[in-house]
């Protein structure tokens, strides 16, 4: 499909020949910002709507006084270029163009609308983080194969690689941009726990709204803080030597969990349940449930070991 520039009426890309293969990412022509982004106004709105008959148009309705709009616009501009002309991005200043905003039914900003064939396909309101914008776009457009990792993915990768300080810095930046996206604050708390700053992590969680503070993700981080605080130090674990009593087994398992060695820790806790269910008022089972909370209900280890726990109990 040829992409038409609504400013000139000229095609931005050539019409593909019939019966040709879909180009790969390396074969797709690169586009510049100027080719895929246009400022919408009364003078070109008709051309933009006509252009949507050839290529989808993403309308970003914003206002100069809107801070969330200022956070969202660079994300949309980046993605418009990254998606290589799969859609045009048209930005509309609703204050400068109130009549157009009224015709489009804009009641609050930011308001993003996907228009194709002259009609509304979908929309979202509010400044979604980059990861969520990508997920929304991917409902309608193939994701670029060479897309760089989103900030959220970079933070997760840093945390997995043991770079807790790097993850913390990314989450702090994201929180500054999206203060009401509470998943970032929970991510920050995770990074703080990994840095050994449990008190600061607990403070972050305590400042969440009640419905977020009591939900599974936040409970999981609290459980991680408790594991770190309860577990013996590496030196103390070494001092246990060859002890095989229930207390020694439990402390080794707790240290493994605190260090993120969940598979080994869960297996050790399950073994302790089989051997000494009564140990410390059923501590092994209770800790298993805490680990499930920390990992989340959908985590593969939670699914596997919850099934094993059920088989052991019943």
Burial class of residue 51, CB neighbours in 10 A (0-12, 13-18, 19+): buried
Cβ neighbours, 10 Å, residue 74: 11
Measure the CA angle with vertex 27, ends 24 and 30; round to 5°. Answer: 115
Choose the catalytic residue: 36, 66, 193, 273: 66
Helical H segments across 91-231, by residue range = 98-104, 130-137, 151-160, 164-177, 182-194, 198-206, 210-213, 216-230
Cβ neighbours, 10 Å, residue 42: 10
Cβ neighbours, 10 Å, residue 226: 17
Cβ neighbours, 10 Å, residue 194: 20
C-alpha–C-alpha distance, residues 298 and 291, integer Å: 12
DSSP string, 42-100: TTTHHHHHHHTTTS-EEEEEE-TT-HHHHHHHHHHHHHHHHTTTSSEEEEEETTT-HHH
Choose the catalytic residue: 37, 38, 57, 69: 69
- Active-site annotation holds for 61: no
Tokens representing residue 82 in the block? 């990254």
C-alpha–C-alpha distance, residues 289 and 214, integer Å: 16
C-alpha–C-alpha distance, residues 81 and 84, integer Å: 5
- Active-site annotation holds for 69: yes
CA dihedral over 280, 281, 285, 290, signed as positive or negative: negative
Active site residues: 66, 69
């Amino acid at each position: 499909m040829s992409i038409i520039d609504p400013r000139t009426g000229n095609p931005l890309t050539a019409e593909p020949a019939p019966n040709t293969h879909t180009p790969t990412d390396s074969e797709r022509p690169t586009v510049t910002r100027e080719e895929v982004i246009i400022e919408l106004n009364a003078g070109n709105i008709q051309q933009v709507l006509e252009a949507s008959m050839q290529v989808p148009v993403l309308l970003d309705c914003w206002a100069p006084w809107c801070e969330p709009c200022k956070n969202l616009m660079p994300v949309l501009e980046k993605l418009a270029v990254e998606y290589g002309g799969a859609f045009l991005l048209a930005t509309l200043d609703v204050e400068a163009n109130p009549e157009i905003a009224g015709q489009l039914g804009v009641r609050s900003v930011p308001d993003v609308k996907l228009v194709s064939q002259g009609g509304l396909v979908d929309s979202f309101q509010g400044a979604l983080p980059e990861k969520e914008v990508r997920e929304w776009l991917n409902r309608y457009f193939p994701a670029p194969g060479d897309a760089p990792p989103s900030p959220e993915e970079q933070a997760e990768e840093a945390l997995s690689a043991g770079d807790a300080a790097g993850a913390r810095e990314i989450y702090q930046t994201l929180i500054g941009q999206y203060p009401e996206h509470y998943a970032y604050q929970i991510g920050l708390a995770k990074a703080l726990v990994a840095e050994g700053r449990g008190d600061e992590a607990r403070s972050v969680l305590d400042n969440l709204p009640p419905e977020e503070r009591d939900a599974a993700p936040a409970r999981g981080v609290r459980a991680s803080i408790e594991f770190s605080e309860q577990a013996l130090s590496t030196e103390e674990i070494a001092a246990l030597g060859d002890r095989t009593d229930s207390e020694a087994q439990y402390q080794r398992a707790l240290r493994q969990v605190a260090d993120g060695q969940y598979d080994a820790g869960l297996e050790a806790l399950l073994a302790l349940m089989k051997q000494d269910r009564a140990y410390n008022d059923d501590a092994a089972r209770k800790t298993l449930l805490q680990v499930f909370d920390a990992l989340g209900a959908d985590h593969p280890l939670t699914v596997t070991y919850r099934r094993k726990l059920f088989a052991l109990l019943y």
